[in-house]
Structure 1
Amino acid sequence: MARLVLIDLDGTLLTRTQDVPPSAQAACREAREAGHILAMCTGRSTPEIYPWLWDLGFSAVIGGSGAYVEVDGQVIRDERIDRADIESVNKVLSRNECLWVWQSSEAMHPSADYLSVFPGKDPDWVPYMRQIEPYLRSGIPDSASKCAFLAPRAGIFEAMSSQLDERFDIIGGSVGTADARVGEILKAQCHKLTGAHVLCGHLGISISDVVGIGDSPNDRELLAGVGTSIAMGNGSEDVKAIASWVTSPVDEDGLARAFEYAGLITR
């Protein structure tokens, strides 16, 4: 039976150096040849997704932590936060000394100094900077899928949650820095699992027949809601606690082993 496989990117498919391990590349291609449907399921928005990832056999993407869904080149979901709400959220971010970037499927609008902190001058993230450079814009966007932010110290998430109204959710992001904590601000109830339901509805697949693989706080709802959930060995402890099974880390053949466990490939 063909299954839908939802794969997180950072820390699941991609290593810290922005590479895909050879074992993961082979596993993706083998699963695709076996008839399974592969979809990226990521906090990244489409400007942040390397085009060459599609060559591994992906036919769909759930991006922006669930706000955006595209399959076979057709956009089937594009949830947006409007400009008035963006301006309101920016006031909260500024009050809490955060840096931020508003993201959508067509552009990225970073605040001053955001990119100097993340990714900064980290050589591992040079490919990422090259990828997003054509999409960088200044100022406030008219709309956005989500906001990624860098918090200067622990405890900010809780304080900010009380300052934002119930129309927004704050979750932990996929990538941290030495100077701050990474978070995401999304429309309430807009997360990877809601994106997965949209994709399943379009494809006519039951959520119970979905395999979800991830490592970060923004994967929690997804892993709690799909039929087969697998956490990476390098994942956060809360994510591991939710998953049906924990594989090895991303750079120790973790994704290939996850595919084997789910019966997507044989070795």
Structure 2
Amino acid sequence: MIDITSAVNRANTAGINATDIQLLVLDIDGTIAGVSNEINEPVKQAIKAAQRKGVQVAVATGRMYCSALRFYEEIGSTLPLITYQGALIKDPTTQHLHRHLRLSQALALQLLDHFELPELRSLLSIHCYVDDRLYVRELTPASIAYGERTGVQPIPVGDLRQFLTIEPTKILALCDDPAVIDQLLGTLRGRYTPAELYLTKSVATFFEATHPAVNKGEAVRYLAEEILGLPASSVMTIGDNFNDVEMLAYAGLGVAMGNAPAEVKAVAKWVAPSVEQDGAAAAIEAFLL
């Protein structure tokens, strides 16, 4: 068990005033859902306890909107749902679309051309997201496993470059070898500026590309400041991977999971136990309850 008193004391020393927190934003995979792909009961109970104290709770995920919806409903959130790293922000209750930032079609086609290079084609499974549907070149073991975990049916269409006639929400490249993803990320970050594309990893084997204005930090800022009228100091975020870095840095209290890479932990103000140890519940108990 985590030493709650010690955690709070360290937070106070770091200048974190947890009593000011009015908004809690949670990542899904690796944060509130682990290997089981479900939210454990201690995490659900901690979230409900925070809500009873008046803390509003939101979800910010790289998942598709349709895939994230069951987690959103399970924790009883009433705020707009942040999906696709923040590219799509929509209120499930009213169906109001707050934001949908799509990739440039021209840049998307350039990425797809790159993925078709002979040295990459056989290594990568490519996912293209259009209007909350998942399109793939072909069904691969990686795409099938992804579909099973997310509850989404991948739709094979052959050459995605011929299929893509409108701007996609996101493009994802999957590879079992993290070194391939790291090399891909490095190559494309050298080719495109942050003003052209937002490039990140959501897990070690997932390369993701979205509109340049998209990241979870900007999405959480939009939710907190423009929708709820809250300052960053009133926000607590919990995440576990590189696509969470911006929201951990933005929040008054950014918490990294124990299973996060070292570079992600370095950005956070506090590190919780791992997802399999219900670290999100421990963080909520430490700072909000």
TM-score (norm 1): 0.85
Q: Which aligned pairs between 1:1-267 and structure 2 lie closer than 5 A?
A: 3-51=22-70, 53-59=72-78, 60-71=80-91, 72-73=93-94, 74-95=96-117, 96-97=120-121, 98-113=124-139, 115-120=140-145, 126-128=148-150, 131-133=151-153, 136=155, 138=157, 139-140=163-164, 142-151=166-175, 153=180, 154-164=182-192, 166-174=195-203, 176=204, 181-200=205-224, 201-263=226-288, 265=289
Residues 126 and 174 in structure 2, CA contact (< 8 A), matched pair in contact too:
yes
* SS, match of residue 117 in structure 1: helix
Distance 1:110 1:141, change over 3 A: farther
In the aligned structure 2, how far is the partner of 1:232 from the partner of 1:220?
A: 12
Residue by residue, what CA displacement relative to the aligned partner does 1:109-156 show, whole Å, maximum 9, x if unpaired?
22324x422453x8xx7353xx212x7463326122211112452422
* Percent of residue pairs bearing the same amino acid type: 21
In the aligned structure 1, how far is the partner of 2:144 from the partner of 2:54?
A: 37
AA matched with 2:98? I
In the aligned structure 2, how far is the partner of 1:58 from the partner of 1:141?
A: 35
* SS, match of residue 132 in structure 1: coil
Q: Offset at 1:262?
A: 2.1
TM-score (norm 2): 0.79
In the aligned structure 2, how far is the partner of 1:37 from the partner of 1:105?
A: 28
Gaps of 5+ in 2: 1-19, 158-162
Q: Offset at 1:232?
A: 0.6
Residues 32 and 278 in structure 2, CA contact (< 8 A), matched pair in contact too:
no
Residue by residue, what CA displacement relative to the aligned partner does 1:188-218 show, whole Å, maximum 9, x if unpaired?
2410011112112111111221101000000
Distance 1:105 1:47, change over 3 A: farther
Distance 1:206 1:142, change over 3 A: same
Q: RMSD across aligned C-alpha pairs, in angstroms?
A: 2.2
Residues 25 and 238 in structure 2, CA contact (< 8 A), matched pair in contact too:
yes
Residue by residue, what CA displacement relative to the aligned partner does 1:199-250 show, whole Å, maximum 9, x if unpaired?
1211111122110100000011111111101011111111111111111011
AA matched with 1:207? A
In the aligned structure 2, how far is the partner of 1:158 from the partner of 1:23?
A: 39
AA matched with 2:210? L
Between Structure 1 and Structure 2, the one with more strand by share is 1
Higher CA-based Rg: 2
Deviant stretches of 4+, over 6 Å: none
Distance 1:127 1:57, change over 3 A: same
Counting matched residue pairs gives 252
In the aligned structure 2, how far is the partner of 1:235 from the partner of 1:45?
A: 22
Residue by residue, what CA displacement relative to the aligned partner does 1:19-41 show, whole Å, maximum 9, x if unpaired?
11110011112222222111111
Residue by residue, what CA displacement relative to the aligned partner does 1:20-63 show, whole Å, maximum 9, x if unpaired?
11100111122222221111111112022242541312123111
In the aligned structure 2, how far is the partner of 1:172 from the partner of 1:23?
A: 28
Residues 201 and 243 in structure 2, CA contact (< 8 A), matched pair in contact too:
yes
Residue by residue, what CA displacement relative to the aligned partner does 1:56-92 show, whole Å, maximum 9, x if unpaired?
1212311111111123432211111143332222112
Q: Which moved more, 1:74-83 or 1:51-60?
A: 51-60
Residues 105 and 145 in structure 1, CA contact (< 8 A), matched pair in contact too:
yes
In the aligned structure 2, how far is the partner of 1:146 from the partner of 1:230?
A: 26
